[in-house]
Amino acid sequence: MSPTLDTVYRHSEDVISRFVEGELLIIPLVAGIGDMENDIFSMDETGKEIWTRLNGEKSAAVIIQELEEVFHAAPDVIRADVLGLLDELARRRLIIAVEKPV
């Protein structure tokens, strides 16, 4: 499912993220050797700003709004970057969409 502006994401429990020497690294955890196919991911500046906001509370729309203030870039560009990265992270199961309460 592609992310929408209303989608809220949180980090997966099967992921470790860590700042090392100024770099944000995301490490998918695997329990068994048969499961392994993922590598370690490194985030660029935009990626860092997005990743740290994926706390299970902020929707994509809120993140886009906040990043517009941080980067002073065109809203369309920020929107494409955020939704694109969320889609990529979700596809790799590094983030999980939070279910909305009924």
Partner 1 sequence: MVSLSPTALIAIAGDVMQRGAILRFQARGASMSPFVKDGDILCIAPLTKHRAGTGRIVAFIAPGKQSFTVHRIVAHTRGHYLIKGDNHGSSSDGWVPAASLLGVVRRIERNGVPIRLGLGFERYLIALLSRRNWLLPLRRWLKKCPLYWGKRIDHER
Contact between 9 and 3 (Cβ < 8 Å) = yes
Q: Could you tell me if 81 and 87 are in contact, meaning their C-beta atoms sit under 8 angstroms apart?
A: no
CA separation for the pair 93, 15 (Å, rounded): 9
Between residues 29 and 74, which has the closer beta carbon with respect to partner 1? 29
29 lies in the site for partner 1, by CB under 8 A: yes
Q: How many Å apart are CA 10 and CA 58, to the nearest integer?
A: 9
Q: Least distance to partner 1 from the beta carbon of 95, Å?
A: 18
Binding residues for partner 1, how many (CB under 8 A)?
Answer: 18
CB nearer partner 1, residue 16 or residue 70: 16
Among 1, 3, 8, 27, binds partner 1 (CB under 8 A): 27
In this structure, how many other beta carbons lie within 10 angstroms of the beta carbon of residue 32? 6
- Does 102 bind partner 1 (CB under 8 A)? Our answer is no
42 binds partner 1 (CB under 8 A): yes
Q: What is the dihedral of CA 63, 67, 11, 39, to 10 degrees?
A: 140
- Which positions lie near partner 1, rule CB under 8 A? 16, 18, 20-21, 23, 25, 27, 29-33, 36, 38-42
